[in-house]
Amino acid sequence: MDKSVHHGRCLCGAITYKVSGTPKIVVHCHCVDCQRLSGTGHLPGAMYSVDQFQLNGEIGEYKLKAQNGTEVTRVFCRNCGSPIFGKNTGMPGFVTITLGTLDDSSDLVPEVVIYSRNRKKWDTMNDSLMVFETQPDWNPAAESG
């Protein structure tokens, strides 16, 4: 079995997906949208390019405007409500998979914390991670490798 392939699914199993290769980055996001969407203190996500990602099943979409004016699409299972991934018109060609929907994400360790200014007091994080108050000025498309 190819170790670089990760499989995931929603709570009810109506949506399954797989991602291949290494994510561009793995982050913990404390933004208020991720908090509401997930019902938790933050949402851990792994960013992949769309050509690394294959999804099966009928999705629901919710679109909203981000603070910087870009459009965010949150994709979820219409049956059970699990958030599966998100995308942003500010970063075309990339999807951010919710880490908790993967069958095995043990080798995908978040490196970065973003929107720490929205972190809830009860949501204690790993001190050794790189922390950003908001979204860092960072463009995955410009990264090499």
Interacting residue ranges for Zn ion, rule: CB under 5 A? 10, 12, 14, 29, 31, 34, 77, 79-80
Q: Which is nearer to Zn ion, 80 or 141 (CB)?
A: 80
Q: Which among 140, 132, 145, 114 is positioned nearest to 34, based on CA atoms? A: 114
**Residue 128 C-beta: closest distance to Zn ion, Å:** 21
* Residue placing its CB nearer to Zn ion in the complex, 49 or 79: 79
4 versus 133: smaller Cβ distance to Zn ion: 133
DSSP assignment of 35-79, as one string?
HHHHTSS-EEEEEEEGGGEEEES-EEEEEEE-TTS-EEEEEEETT
Nearest distance, CB of residue 7 and Zn ion, angstroms? 15
| CB closer to Zn ion out of 21 and 66 | 66
Q: How far is CA 81 from CA 27, 39, 41, 59, 124, in A?
A: 22, 12, 18, 10, 26
As a whole number of Å, the end-to-end CA separation of the chain is: 23
Shorter beta-carbon distance to Zn ion: residue 6 or 30: 30
CA 107 to chain centre: 15
Nearest approach in angstroms of CB 34 to Zn ion is 3
109 DSSP 8-state letter? -
Instruction: State in angstroms the smallest separation of the CB of 142 from Zn ion.
Output: 21
In angstroms, what is the minimal distance from the CB of 53 to Zn ion?
17
